[in-house]
């Protein structure tokens, strides 16, 4: 693969106190984040959160009202001509042209980036190879399936060998097979040293590939870091499941749990599953005491486990926190 | 059917475009009458003045119907197919004829509304006296309704065949122009030949509403030299228009089935991978095979220009060759027919049909080539990709304009053989030919720049194409409308000033064509065209700059 970049701690994307206003409307509010070389940043947020505005500023399509955004040392706002050479951008909608074959499509964008003809021929072959799209080079672009078009779109972003790739919803509308292929392709690109910023609504997909996650709502960055860090910071409550072999001890188990956790604890029983669930902020040591009290009360326990949280939970926690804060503000 | 009719009509009426059209049409025709309203105390008992105004009013209305009636039906079916709502309609208990009738009456309702808005102006015209209510006023409105029905049916047929909304608009306007203008041509040449051929040409001529309209307003007969025999043009049009509309409707209704949605996507078979025999056969047939693997864009070629040629449906070399070949044959045929045939003209007058042919070609092709240059990028989501490439706004504009300019030049050059024949027969004509050629070049460039500039302000290619056609046809046709009303009601100076806006008129005056020979249009027309071209370029450049700038 052309353009191997060394993976390291060096920040490639730096965003500091970025704000964007459209009249009275605040699209971005004091956003700061950093992405290091070779990392994949999952940029998530509900519709209208400000993801696309951030991306537009990063690729030079919009200017911030205040703040700084730099990619590979190039200022995105003041040097939008240079930024085009260091960033490969794939928007949400695939920009296609009628009656053009894949090779011609790539040839056009290669020429638009000023790649000399000889080098362009080689480069087109390379990017088609990287994206496993060589077999479709003679097909008409508009006749391709959505998954194929996404791969051609990625091939296009790679033509000028940019350091940073920004993909807006690359997995949107893809079938499971195409989604797996897309995931592998993104990991392959990151492994080659490219820095990726990926937005997606399909959060389980992102959680499988991202090193870093940034959650944005209403233009504000709510959380950033690795998934584990975010979960630790956001979700202090843990959900514990207590599985019993049969449901005859269910009432007794619920009584013991309430005694151990306190009367205010929310314990839900599911007789059909012979299971109890509760949410707690207790540490592992404190939870071991809860289990010990169950055993001491001669309740047979087959499993005592913590429910694993994922990116969706983290995202929902952020939304809930934000709603609670908004409600509190309204009440005041 | 009623549900579709209601939806179609309401959908049209809700658009800003419809509001602008209604307001524009009403104001335009009221303004026309107001301009010619008697200001002195005397009454014109002969009705000459009202007759003049009525003629202009009628032709204007006919032009408005020909321009506006095809817009809505042309995009109707193809847009539904692309959005997927046609599948929903076909999946409902609605029958094909019912879907069709809903659309047809919906558009007819809107056109009728436009015509109703002109009634106050018509009433004022009638009040000026000298106009027959049934023989002229009602007859004009009846004719307009028939023409609207014909063009609506045609638009819907094209829409059922087209692959894109803008393509449908292009083809529909081409067909409307062919039905309204080209149908006049055979009679022009064959009227004195007699026999069944002449009679057939007379019937074909009446497919156009123009002869019928001329008959109603009492303007004699366009291009007619022989005495008119048989039924009047009005009667013939009243027979032909419903017949053709029924034919178009029948074909469209028969197409409104599932197979319309059941089309395989082109796999794009490449000739380079096929057998030697196939390759050779395709080479002989196409000369430049569109399915061979194309060469990469050269280092010094504007990539946007190359892209435009490749992505344009008729931009590939084999289509260019066909276009040039067609133009050359048509030009030679025209020159041959008028110099050796039935019409006894001096050689200068031969230039008239050649000029009309060339301008006709450019008026049909230029808006379709240039209107969607910017809007198609926005519609296909490709504009952000261009913006994130290092291409400057200026380079994008140059590439796009060049792609249309080359095609225009090829079309102009392809019609040169006709002039070559003229110069061969009468060498002294060379200066006139050069002058006419400059006029035609400016006419083409003006049509191109107006289309490109107007189209750049729209996000949808179909809307851009429609607006460009209206602007270009408005300029070339509108000035001719004023010319038609020369000396009545417009004075010599007004007509001459109006014609200076139209380089085609300048080309016709160069050849001293009857009706144009008295006007001194050169070099003023060249200057006007030059200024219009520069203004259009500056506006378009400004528009593209604003679209490429960071938000």
pLDDT tens digit sequence for B430-481? 888 888 889 989 999 999 999 999 999 988 888 888 889 889 988 888 888 8
What does the pLDDT look like over B139-168, one tens digit per residue? Answer: 999 999 999 999 999 999 999 988 888 888
Whole-angstrom Cα Rg for chain A: 25
CA angle B317, B464, B209 (to 5 degrees): 90
Assess whether A252 and A198 both reside in one domain.
no
Which 22-51 residues of chain B touch chain A by CB within 8 A? none
Q: Residue B387 to residues A124, A322, B375: CA-CA distances in angstroms?
A: 21, 35, 14
Please report the pLDDT score of residue B46 as a whole number.
60
The secondary structure of residue A87, as a DSSP letter, is: E
Which 331-390 residues of chain B touch chain A by CB within 8 A? 377, 380-390
d(CA B436, CA B348): 11
Mean pLDDT value of segment B49-58: 77
Both tokens of residue B362?
Answer: 């450019």
Residue A27 included in any domain: yes
Q: What is the CATH number of the domain that holds A125?
A: 3.40.50.300
Residues whose CB falls within 8 Å of the CB of residue B190, separated by 6 or more in sequence, listed in order: B197, B198, B201, B342
Please report the pLDDT score of residue B54 as a whole number.
80
- DSSP H or E segment with residue B200: helix B195-205
Both tokens of residue B474?
Answer: 């408005």
Say which range, A271-275, B57-61, B257-261, B369-373, has the weakest mean pLDDT: B257-261
d(CA A73, CA B500): 57
Cβ distance B382 to A95 less than 8 Å, yes or no, reads: yes
d(CA B493, CA B520): 10
- pLDDT above 90 (res B401): yes
Assess whether A249 and A205 both reside in one domain.
no
Cβ distance B382 to A109 less than 8 Å, yes or no, reads: no
Please report the pLDDT score of residue A107 as a whole number.
92
Residue A57 included in any domain: yes
d(CA B407, CA B370): 11
Domain region containing A85: 11-233
Q: Is A23 on the interface with B (CB under 8 A)?
A: no
Question: According to the 3-state scheme, what is the secondary structure of B503-530?
Answer: HHHHHHHHCCCCCCCCCCCCCHHHHHHH
Assess whether A185 and A116 both reside in one domain.
yes
Question: Chain B partners of A152 at a C-beta cutoff of 8 Å?
Answer: none
Q: Is B459 on the interface with A (CB under 8 A)?
A: no
Cβ distance B313 to A98 less than 8 Å, yes or no, reads: yes
Q: Residue A30 to residues A56, A59, A168, A240: CA-CA distances in angstroms?
A: 16, 18, 21, 37
Closest CA to A127 of A55, A205, A59, A188: A188
Please report the pLDDT score of residue B266 as a whole number.
65
The answer to whether B452 touches B442, Cβ cutoff 8 Å, is: no
Residue A316 included in any domain: no
Cβ distance B388 to A109 less than 8 Å, yes or no, reads: no
What does the pLDDT look like over B488-503, one tens digit per residue? Answer: 667 788 888 889 999 9
**Residue B315: closest C-alpha in chain A:** A99
Assess whether A113 and A50 both reside in one domain.
yes
Going from N- to C-terminal start, the domains of chain B cover 2-37+46-257, 313-548
Give the mutation candidate from A80, A98, A140 for the B interface (greatest B CB count, under 10 A).
Answer: A98
The answer to whether B74 touches B163, Cβ cutoff 8 Å, is: no
Q: Is A43 on the interface with B (CB under 8 A)?
A: no
Which residues pair with residue A21 across a beta bridge? A26
Considering A53-57, B83-87, B309-313, B535-539, the range whose residues carry the highest mean pLDDT is: B535-539
Sheet holding A238-243: strands in order across?
A267-270, A275-280, A238-243, A303-306
- pLDDT-based confidence at residue A22 (cuts at 50, 70, 90): confident
Q: What is the Cβ-side half-sphere exposure of residue B464, based on CA atoms within 13 angstroms? A: 28
Cβ distance A89 to B388 less than 8 Å, yes or no, reads: yes
Assess whether A111 and A35 both reside in one domain.
yes
ipTM: 0.73
Query: Three-state DSSP class for A79?
Result: coil
Assess whether A102 and A137 both reside in one domain.
yes
d(CA B360, CA B331): 12
Of A62, A107, A120, the CB nearest to B551: A62
Which 125-164 residues of chain A touch chain B by CB within 8 A? 138-140, 142-143, 156
Assess whether A202 and A248 both reside in one domain.
no
Mean pLDDT value of segment B341-361: 69
Instruction: Please give, rounded to a whole number of angstroms, the shortest distance from the CA of B299 to a CA of chain A.
Output: 6
B134: number of Cβ within 10 Å:
8
The answer to whether A178 touches A162, Cβ cutoff 8 Å, is: no
Q: What is the CATH number of the domain that holds A290?
A: 3.30.70.100
- pLDDT above 60 (res A1): no
d(CA B527, CA B501): 9
Cβ distance B306 to A89 less than 8 Å, yes or no, reads: no
Question: Chain B partners of A20 at a C-beta cutoff of 8 Å?
Answer: none
Question: Chain A partners of B387 at a C-beta cutoff of 8 Å?
Answer: 61
d(CA B72, CA B350): 38
Assess whether A300 and A224 both reside in one domain.
no
Cβ distance A107 to B267 less than 8 Å, yes or no, reads: no
Is the full-model pTM beyond 0.90?
Answer: no
- DSSP H or E segment with residue A277: strand A275-280
Question: Chain B partners of A120 at a C-beta cutoff of 8 Å?
Answer: 296
Instruction: Please give, rounded to a whole number of angstroms, the shortest distance from the CA of B266 to a CA of chain A.
Output: 6
Please report the pLDDT score of residue B44 as a whole number.
58
**Could you tell me what percentage of chain A is helix, strand and coil, using 3-state DSSP and rounding each to the nearest 5?**
40, 25, 35
* Of B307 and B360, the one with more pLDDT: B307
- pLDDT-based confidence at residue B37 (cuts at 50, 70, 90): low
The secondary structure of residue B227, as a DSSP letter, is: P
Q: Residue A49 to residues A13, A31, A52, A312: CA-CA distances in angstroms?
A: 20, 12, 8, 16
Buried b / exposed e over B383-392, threshold 16 CB at 10 Å, is bbbbbbbebe
Both tokens of residue A1?
Answer: 């693969």
Cβ distance A59 to B304 less than 8 Å, yes or no, reads: no
Assess whether A241 and A170 both reside in one domain.
no
Q: Work out the angle between the directed axes of helices B372-379 and B524-548 (0-180°, nearest 10).
A: 20
Assess whether A78 and A220 both reside in one domain.
yes
Cβ distance A94 to B307 less than 8 Å, yes or no, reads: no
Q: What is the Cβ-side half-sphere exposure of residue B447, based on CA atoms within 13 angstroms? A: 33
Mean pLDDT value of segment A13-41: 88
**Residue B296: closest C-alpha in chain A:** A107
Question: Chain A partners of B267 at a C-beta cutoff of 8 Å?
Answer: 139, 143
Assess whether A204 and A253 both reside in one domain.
no
Q: What burial class does residue A277 get, using C-beta atoms within 10 Å of its C-beta: 0-12 exposed, 13-18 middle, 19+ buried?
A: middle
Residue A319 included in any domain: no
* Of A318 and B298, the one with more pLDDT: B298
Assess whether A48 and A185 both reside in one domain.
yes
Q: Is A237 on the interface with B (CB under 8 A)?
A: no
Instruction: Please give, rounded to a whole number of angstroms, the shortest distance from the CA of B272 to a CA of chain A.
Output: 10
Residue A312 included in any domain: no
What does the pLDDT look like over A47-92, one tens digit per residue? Answer: 888 888 899 899 888 888 988 889 988 888 888 788 888 999 998 8
Q: Is B297 on the interface with A (CB under 8 A)?
A: yes
Q: Is A84 on the interface with B (CB under 8 A)?
A: yes
Question: Chain B partners of A56 at a C-beta cutoff of 8 Å?
Answer: 551
Instruction: Please give, rounded to a whole number of angstroms, the shortest distance from the CA of B381 to a CA of chain A.
Output: 4
Number of domain units in chain A: 2
Give the mutation candidate from B382, B385, B398, B547 for the A interface (greatest A CB count, under 10 A).
Answer: B385
Mean pLDDT value of segment B104-116: 88
């Amino acid at each position: 693969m052309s353009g191997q970049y060394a993976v390291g701690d060096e920040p490639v994307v730096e965003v500091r106190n970025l704000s964007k206003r459209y009249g009275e409307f605040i699209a971005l509010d004091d956003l700061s984040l950093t992405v290091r070389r070779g990392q994949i940043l999952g940029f998530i947020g509900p519709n209208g959160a400000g993801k696309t505005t951030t991306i537009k500023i990063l690729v030079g399509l919009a200017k911030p009202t205040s703040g700084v955004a730099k990619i590979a040392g190039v200022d995105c706002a003041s040097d939008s001509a240079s930024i085009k050479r260091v960033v490969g951008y794939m928007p949400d909608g695939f920009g296609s042209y009628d009656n053009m074959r894949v090779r011609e499509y790539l040839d056009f964008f290669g020429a638009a980036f000023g790649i000399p003809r000889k080098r362009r021929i080689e480069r087109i072959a390379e990017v088609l190879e990287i994206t496993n799209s060589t077999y479709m080079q003679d097909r008409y672009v508009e006749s391709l399936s959505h998954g194929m078009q996404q791969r051609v779109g990625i091939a296009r972003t790679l033509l000028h060998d940019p350091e940073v790739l920004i993909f807006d919803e690359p997995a949107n509308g893809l079938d499971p097979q195409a989604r797996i292929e897309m995931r592998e392709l993104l990991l392959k690109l990151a492994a080659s040293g490219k820095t990726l910023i990926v937005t997606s609504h399909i959060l389980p997909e992102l959680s499988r590939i991202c090193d870093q996650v940034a959650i944005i709502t209403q233009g504000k960055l709510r959380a950033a870091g690795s998934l584990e860090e975010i979960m630790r910071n956001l979700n202090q409550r843990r959900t514990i499941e207590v599985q019993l072999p049969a449901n005859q001890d269910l009432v007794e188990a619920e009584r013991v749990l309430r005694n151990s956790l306190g009367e205010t604890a929310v314990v839900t029983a599911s007789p059909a599953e012979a299971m109890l669930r509760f949410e707690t902020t207790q540490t592992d040591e404190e939870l071991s005491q809860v289990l010990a009290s169950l055993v001491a009360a001669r309740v047979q326990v087959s499993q005592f486990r913590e429910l694993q949280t994922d990116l969706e939970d983290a995202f929902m926690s952020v939304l809930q926190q934000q709603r609670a804060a908004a409600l509190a503000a309204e009440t005041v | 059917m009623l549900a579709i009719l209601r939806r179609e009509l309401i959908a049209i009426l809700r658009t800003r475009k419809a509001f602008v059209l209604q307001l524009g049409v009403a104001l335009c025709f009221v303004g026309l009458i107001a301009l010619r309203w008697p200001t002195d105390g005397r009454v014109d008992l002969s009705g000459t003045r009202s007759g003049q105004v009525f003629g202009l009013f009628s032709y204007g209305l006919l032009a408005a119907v020909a321009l506006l009636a095809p817009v809505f039906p042309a995009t109707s079916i193809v847009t539904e197919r692309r959005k997927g709502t046609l599948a929903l309609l076909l999946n409902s208990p609605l029958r094909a004829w019912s879907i069709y009738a809903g659309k047809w009456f919906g558009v007819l309702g809107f056109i009728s509304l436009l015509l109703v808005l002109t009634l106050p102006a018509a009433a004022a015209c009638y009040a000026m006296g000298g106009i027959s209510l049934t023989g002229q006023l009602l007859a004009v409105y009846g004719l307009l309704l028939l023409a609207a029905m014909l063009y609506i049916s045609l638009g819907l047929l094209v829409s059922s065949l087209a692959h894109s909304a803008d393509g449908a608009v292009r083809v529909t306007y081409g067909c409307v122009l062919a039905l309204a203008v080209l149908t006049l041509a055979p009679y022009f040449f064959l009227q004195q030949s007699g026999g069944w051929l002449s009679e057939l040409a007379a019937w074909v001529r009446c497919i156009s509403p123009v002869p019928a309209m001329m008959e109603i307003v009492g303007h004699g007969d366009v291009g007619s030299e022989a005495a008119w025999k048989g039924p009047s043009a009005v009667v013939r049009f009243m027979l032909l228009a419903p017949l053709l509309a029924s034919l178009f409707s029948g074909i469209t209704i028969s197409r409104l089935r599932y197979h319309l949605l059941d089309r395989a996507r082109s796999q794009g078979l490449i000739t380079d991978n096929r057998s030697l025999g196939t390759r050779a056969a395709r080479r002989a047939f196409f000369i430049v095979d569109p399915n061979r693997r194309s060469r990469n864009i050269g280092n010094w070629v504007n990539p946007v220009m190359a892209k435009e040629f490749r992505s344009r449906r008729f931009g590939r070399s084999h289509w260019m060759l066909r276009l040039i070949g067609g133009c050359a044959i048509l030009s030679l045929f025209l020159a041959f027919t008028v110099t050796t045939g039935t019409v006894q003209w001096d050689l200068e007058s031969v230039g008239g049909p050649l000029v009309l042919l060339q301008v006709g070609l450019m008026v049909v092709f230029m808006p379709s080539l240039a209107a969607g240059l910017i809007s198609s990028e926005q519609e296909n989501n490709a504009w952000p990709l261009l913006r994130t490439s290092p291409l400057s706004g200026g380079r994008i504009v140059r590439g796009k304009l060049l792609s249309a300019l080359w095609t225009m030049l090829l079309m102009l050059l392809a019609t040169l053989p006709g002039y070559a024949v003229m110069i061969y027969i009468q060498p002294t004509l060379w200066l006139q030919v050069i002058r006419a050629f400059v006029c035609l070049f400016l006419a083409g460039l003006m049509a191109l720049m107006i289309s490109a500039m107007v189209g750049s302000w729209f996000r949808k290619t179909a809307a851009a194409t429609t607006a460009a056609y209206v602007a270009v046809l408005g300029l070339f046709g509108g000035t001719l409308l004023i010319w038609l009303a020369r000396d009545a009601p417009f004075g010599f100076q007004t007509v001459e000033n109006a014609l200076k806006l139209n380089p085609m008129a300048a080309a016709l005056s160069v050849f001293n064509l009857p009706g144009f020979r008295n006007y001194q249009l050169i070099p003023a027309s060249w200057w006007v065209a030059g200024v219009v071209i520069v203004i259009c370029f500056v506006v378009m450049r400004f528009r593209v700059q604003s679209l490429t700038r960071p938000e």
